[in-house]
Structure 1
Amino acid sequence: MSEQARSPFQIRCADFSDGWALAQLLIDCFKDMPGGAPSQAVLNDANREDSRALLTTREKGVIVIAEAEGEICGTVSLFATHAAGSEVWRHGGYGLRHLAVAREQRGRGLGRLLLGQAEALAFERGANCLCVHIPAGSPRLAALFTTRGYLRDPSGDFDRGSFAYWEGYYLPAAKSLSEGLSAEPAASPLSPV
């Protein structure tokens, strides 16, 4: 039985009509980050443009969302290598950004479910790895990624000044397959990117 089949969550690709609910989820979730990211840091003009591109064309990537009882309760953005906003530092990689799970849904496996969908979509599309940045001082978030096979890569680190220092992690395609992580998405209405 797939992870999705056991889950109370419905997973799908976001569309333009989801924009407002996504923005509110991101603001709410990023306030919980170390240092309490202000909404202007999460939803600045560059981030809005990057997300708008993902909502309107699948060539640049996709925003995967989870719903419970008709409400968006989780999301992760998958950026193609060439897309603005991808923050990919490894050749041939895809970028993961904006993983967010509503406070009341945390601890129920939703982050893993969203990551599994995004990973499968990226590897189906030919990515040789996935790159992600994690705020320094976030051990639970780092553990979420490292238990899935992500490796720490200091060459991907960057400093956003007073906001946060971000640590680079990546998941090689070969590692995800060799360690038994599914390369196929769980049964869902997701369209390939």
Structure 2
Amino acid sequence: MNLVRSTLAALLVAAAAATASATMTFTQFKSGSPLDFLSSGGDTQYSSTFNNIKNGGTLLSTFLTANPNYEIVSAIVEFGFADDGGDSYEYAKAYISGKFVKLFGDHHNSNDAVEVDGSHDYGYSYRDGEIAEEDFGDLEDGIVEFKVKADQGDFYLKTAKITVEVDKKSVEVPDSGSTLLLLGAALGVIGFIRRRR
């Protein structure tokens, strides 16, 4: 019976190892005092580049080049805002590589811009949005342009962050009956051991 238990335990450990996730997270954070003051009546946008997206000391582009069996599985941008206190409503829009990214927040105006609040002293208003899967190719070289635009009112852009997750590419291999064969063999061993008793 101990042989059966150890065989089943080994099979379970092997199955768990085969399906284990190898997700890695790469980030870059930018902050300033502030990065920029944006106003829909004046300086309406701030543009910059995420070009140092890392996990520890490893750049995203270097990792993907050295590990072609990995792919980007998610990417999120996050911006921190502080209100200047002058207007009742401030709305912002974000773009990655020239493409609109809808930021999550409590209220959106008719242009799909998100309301931003926050303060310098009591905490920024953070808004994040997912980069569409079809745009992951723009991230593979580890350099991506972003733009934040004042759609209404004025506010401070305090922080910008990108988080990119990569994981092993999923490869579907046809079974060809090997799983059923292994299950049958295991059941045969169990039956054989029980008969010997």
Shorter-chain TM range is under 0.3
Which structure's residues are more often helix, by fraction? 1
| TM-score, normalised relative to structure 2 | 0.27
Query: Which one scores higher on RCO, CA 8 angstroms, separation ≥ 6?
Result: 2
Which structure's residues are more often strand, by fraction? 2
Rg larger in 1 or in 2?
Answer: 2
